[in-house]
Amino acid sequence: MGDTTKAVVETLDPITKRLLPSDITKGTLVPLKTILELRDYLSLCQVYVTRAPQKSVSSIFEVAKRISGNDGARNLPHLRRCIKPADLPPHLKNAFVNEGNGRTIHMAKSQWLYIVLGPKTEFSYQELEKELRVVEGMNDEVWLGEVPVPLLAPTSQSQALMWSHEFWQSIYRKNNPLGPHPSTIARTETFVARDAAIWMALAQQTAKKAQKAGMGEPIGAVIIKRTTPGRSDSGKAKKAGKGSDSQKEANDEKEAGSEGFSEGSDATNSDGESMASPSADITNDMKQLNISQSTTQPQSHSKSKVEAKEKTQIVAIAGDARWHKHGCFGETGNPMAHAALRAISMVAQKLVRSENRSESEEQIMEFECFQDKPLLHDEQLVFDADHPSPDGYLCHDLELYLTHEPCTMCSMGILHSRMGKVVFCRRMPLTGGMTSEDRARDVCGNTGACEGSCGGGQGLGLHWRKELNWTLLGWEWEADKSDALPLDPHIHA
């Protein structure tokens, strides 16, 4: 474990410290692409360009506007309207210099510019040529070219540079009409990146324990609550985003209800997990950690000290349990017992528990078919601790870490739970619901037998789709060292 990770671990609650594996693999967060980013990011359209002396530019604009009925280039604000011959992409420069009076106007001292007139579909070539011919300064040297350009704005600086080289000088305006605002992703990533490795390691460990215990596939989920009080960039954050974005940001900054666990524990890890049954074992753990239902409340003297810092607290942890008492669920196991759903359900139970505490201690909240009662010892430990801020809607603003890309059903469950962020490690190209990339058929390997039934078609991109009334930020976690939890590609995680 690196020094940075060690420092972060120091700030964690005792339960997390207790559960953490000793080996935490570093990695990189890769933001998920949205459906629109993949579908539209390189839609091209043909535009007419011409060249004219600098002094004639405004007259040229007027001609373009008059013929196209509006300012045809208005919908292409990411393209530089006028560029010098030297700024043309190399292949256009080579082509245009050999046309008409190209050699003269490509000379260093030339005052001529290349001008985007607008989408080809909005002009009649003959009319355009006729009108340009009478513009002062053109000297009958009317030249009209046709170039393909990206229809939509670039979503990053590097994309703009690439397009400038391949198509036409493009401008990145630090905006992304096709996905989350880049500044939101960048800002969120700075704090998620600090501890993502920890939560992912915990999810991986839970996955292995679930498999070892025979209750499910090696799939694990961890839900955490992050509190970032008084972030220094909070003013900027509020201004930067719009709509649900800024709403989420604002909620990010809302102070959480309680402080969680008191300090003081060892950091050892229990290997060789078995199904949690002896409650005495749990009670012992709780004692050792100096926590219990009644002592999870903040201790006033330490509160002010900790409050200034960002805090993360584990809210739920769950392994896959599709094979637990699976008798009637056939070959796929119990779909309601997928790790993500179990974890979300545990959060729900904590909320109910918190609301009902004064009325009754004996609530039966687990439904047999959901298998959302803690099964692993680790699950029980986290489950028994109070929810750090039991006042929001289900998983509003929480973060979910998964060993695998969740299936379509779980992805929708995550969306409906109002989860704020999701990070998963292994992509499930045939069955996952989060990514937007085409679902490859070649992953399967079983040519013939699965024809037509194992994917293909477009990914669903269920993290950010504007037509759904909730969006969440999503990342893929690329571990530096392969900590593979291989899964049959047909499995729905």
Q: Which residues bind Zn ion (CB under 5 A)?
A: 338, 407, 410
* Residue 5 beta carbon to Zn ion: minimum distance, rounded to whole angstroms: 29
* Residue that the structure tokens 């009662």 belong to: 373
- CB 97 within 8 Å of CB 103: yes
Asked if residue 402 lies in contact with residue 340, where contact means CB atoms within 8 angstroms, the answer is yes
CB of 338 to Zn ion, least distance (A): 3
- Strand segments (E) across 269-357: 311-319
Token pair for 428? 């499930």
| Number of Cβ within a 10 Å radius of residue 59 | 17
User: Do 444 and 489 contact (CB within 8 A), yes or no?
Assistant: yes
In the complex, the smallest distance separating the C-beta of residue 337 from Zn ion, rounded to whole angstroms, is 9
Minimum Å gap between C-beta 339 and Zn ion is 7
Query: Min. distance of Cβ 270 from Zn ion in angstroms?
Result: 27
* Residue number, 149 or 410, with CB nearest to Zn ion: 410
Please provide the size of the chain in residues. 493
Crossing angle of helices 279-288/377-384, nearest 10°? 60
Of 377 and 404, the one with the shorter C-beta distance to Zn ion is 404
* Choice between 209 and 338, CB closer to Zn ion: 338
CA nearest to 35, candidates 466, 477, 469: 466
Residue closer to Zn ion by CB (options 374, 413) is 413
135 or 410: CB nearest Zn ion: 410
The least distance separating Zn ion from the CB of residue 358, rounded to whole angstroms, comes to 35
CA dihedral 323, 329, 333, 334 (to 10 degrees): -90
Pair 166, 89: CB distance under 8 Å = yes
Cβ proximity to Zn ion, 179 vs 413, nearer residue: 413
Residue 56: how many CB atoms within 10 A of its CB? 21
As measured in angstroms, the least distance from the Cβ of 410 to Zn ion is 3
User: 72 or 489, CB closer to Zn ion?
Assistant: 489
Nearest to 373 by CA among 359, 362, 361, 384: 384
Pick the closer one to Zn ion by CB: 14 or 406: 406
CA distances from 249 to 206, 424, 467, 470 (A): 30, 22, 20, 14
Rounded CA Rg of the chain = 29
The least distance separating Zn ion from the CB of residue 213, rounded to whole angstroms, comes to 19
